[in-house]
Chains A and B, each alone.
Chain A
Amino acid sequence: MKEILRIQGLSAGYGPLGVLHGVNLTVHAGERVGLVGLNGHGKSTLLRAIVGLTGWQSGSIRLRDQEIGGTRSQGPGRYTHRIVRLGLALMPQGDAIFHGLTVADHLDSGAFTRRAWRERMARRDRVLDIFPPLRALLKAPVGKLSGGERRMVSLARGLMADSSLFLIDEPSLGLAPKISKGLIEALTQIPLDDGAMIIAEQNLSLLEGYVTRLVGMHGGKLKGGGDALSAVALGAPH
């Protein structure tokens, strides 16, 4: 199977604080990987390191044979837009939305490649089919939406471009269980084709049946070195 992402020896953190310690992870095309672990053990930092948003990092991150990692001691976010343009979408915790802009503006802002911008109307339609509730809210400023709707906007925005690797950070955070379930279901409807998806989630039970593989994170390291792990082993308390 084709390799989408290969992370080797990735360490990262913020200032004096080290969060990740030598993480190795390989993701192949067609996979939906569930990244599970307790709060504060580095799930978000791993996803942020992939797009270059940590304070510092070292180690190799290859996205389809292109190196996007490397050693960096400063400048969080300096290369993020270039990495994202290679076909990567991160839906971060807190959604990183633009409060004053409308839902339509958000969707358009996700269409950053030339082709995506030209086709943005057609793409809007396609994305709205995945998140039907947004259709009625196109003209509403996102600051006025509910938490679940904001999460949908953040996800929908990530789907506007030609991304092939989706990184989704805690889709259930702060949402009612029923809404979380619906969101996860919507996520699994996104066609992956040649791409892959990593979903970081604390709530293991939410992911059951929706991901092809689970990876555990503990103390800034991946359990079992990032290879397939059984959900049973992960479910056991450490």
Chain B
Amino acid sequence: MDNDLYYVALTAITLASIYGLLALGISIIWSSLGMINMAHGFTFAAAGFGGWLMAQHLTQNGAAVILAGMLTGALIGVLIGAVAFIPLYDKPNFPLRSLIATLAISLLGAQALLWVFGPRVKALPKVFGQENFQFGSAVVSADKLGVIGTSVLVLLATLIWARRSRRGLEIRAMMQNPEGAALVGIGLRSTAMSIMAVTGALAGLAAILLAQTYYVSPYAGLTPLLKGMIVALAGGLGSIPGALIAAVLVGLVEALTAVTLGGQYVLITQFGFIIVVLLIRPRGIAGILEQTRE
């Protein structure tokens, strides 16, 4: 039983760090660009292939594979921004139009990946090695440790960058009030592009990290997109701390379900979880945070 509990906690944190990377991106894009990015899953899948190309043709080096994934993610993110945001953002009905545009990109993208790489799934190298570490009676595999470490590190770096740098200030201003941002001279288009690049890179990292357990395939982005959306919604769209807390909760729900009911029920319990959260707190966990702050 003790071992079970430990396994649940470890799995939950591993999943939380991956979902957190995705949800943060979805949440930031929604609050700053006003766009629900349905193509975030495509960014994720394409980044997985980016990492695979690097491992296949250049080097199996872990850092290089991660970097390739993040770069591919950033590139695809910018591409989505250029197609779905730049031409549309000042037109009427932008939220609906961009939703349709990103959905179209997501479908087209998955087909393009299928066309180029074929339907066979690809395996990425174990970027964190194969060893197991012993902590007392508990055993941690290197890839779980690596997944948690890398995502925590990258998330922290991103948050510090957002708090300290000028670009970060522009992004935070745009998340709060796009018109006010334009009025203080912040270029919405260029800021949007850097947001798409950063969130794309985060999705790319998530893709490489998840590929330590699952295979890379053209449709690999679908489930992570759903789970990222669940986390972002449960956290309250637009709230960074909310998304991070929700990531841990959703990871916990998934790990607990897998242990008690079985893996096939995971999506059911997660949707149940989000329904309950939204019933109690329509604005997600961020609603609770703001309530206690006042």
Contacts and interface: CB of A to CB of B under 8 A. Distances in A.
Nearest to A78: B90
Contacts of A81: 182, 185-188
B176 A101 contact: yes
B177 A98 contact: yes
B186 A51 contact: no
Interface residues of A, number: 31
B177 A96 contact: yes
B176 A98 contact: yes
Identify whether the interface residues of A are mostly helix, strand, loop, or mixed.
loop
Interface stretch (A105-113, A208-216, A219-227): A105-113
Interface string A161-179: 1000000000000000000
B180 A161 contact: no
A84 B173 contact: no
Q: Which of the listed residues A80, A99, A157, A161 has the most CB atoms from chain B within 10 Å of its own CB? A: A80
Contacts of B173: 98, 101, 105, 109
Q: Which of the listed residues A98, A101, A117 has the most CB atoms from chain B within 10 Å of its own CB? A: A98
Contacts of B170: 109
Interface in A65-105: 74-78, 80-82, 84-85, 90, 92, 95-101, 105
B185 A96 contact: no
A186 to B, nearest CB: 19
Contact of B90 (A77, A90, A113, A158): A77
B283 interface: no
A77 B185 CA distance: 11
Contacts of A92: 179, 183
Contacts of A101: 172-173, 176
Given A74-B91, A77-B188, A108 B180 contact: no
Contacts of B188: 77, 81
Given A76-B90, A77-B90, A105 B172 contact: yes
Contacts of B57: none
Interface residues of B, number: 20
Nearest to B187: A81
A6 to B, nearest CB: 22
Q: Which of the listed residues B170, B176, B181 has the most CB atoms from chain A within 10 Å of its own CB? A: B176
Interface in B183-198: 183-188
B169 interface: yes
A197 interface: no
Nearest to B182: A80
Contact of A117 (B166, B180, B181): B166
B176 A77 contact: no
A109 B178 CA distance: 13
A74 B166 CA distance: 30
A97 B169 CA distance: 13
Contacts of B181: 98, 109
Contact of B185 (A76, A95, A108, A161): A161
B179 A53 contact: yes
Q: Which of the listed residues A51, A81, A82, A161 has the most CB atoms from chain B within 10 Å of its own CB? A: A81
A80 B172 contact: no
B184 A112 contact: yes
Given A76-B90, A84-B182, 18 more contacts: A51-B183, A53-B182, A74-B90, A75-B91, A77-B179, A84-B184, A92-B179, A96-B177, A96-B183, A97-B177, A97-B180, A98-B176, A98-B180, A98-B181, A100-B176, A101-B176, A105-B172, A105-B173
Interface of A: 51, 53, 74-78, 80-82, 84-85, 90, 92, 95-101, 105, 108-110, 112-113, 117, 157-158, 161
Q: When A and B form their complex, which 7 residue pairs have the shortest distance between CB atoms, in order from nearest?
A: A96-B180, A98-B176, A112-B185, A75-B90, A80-B182, A84-B185, A81-B187
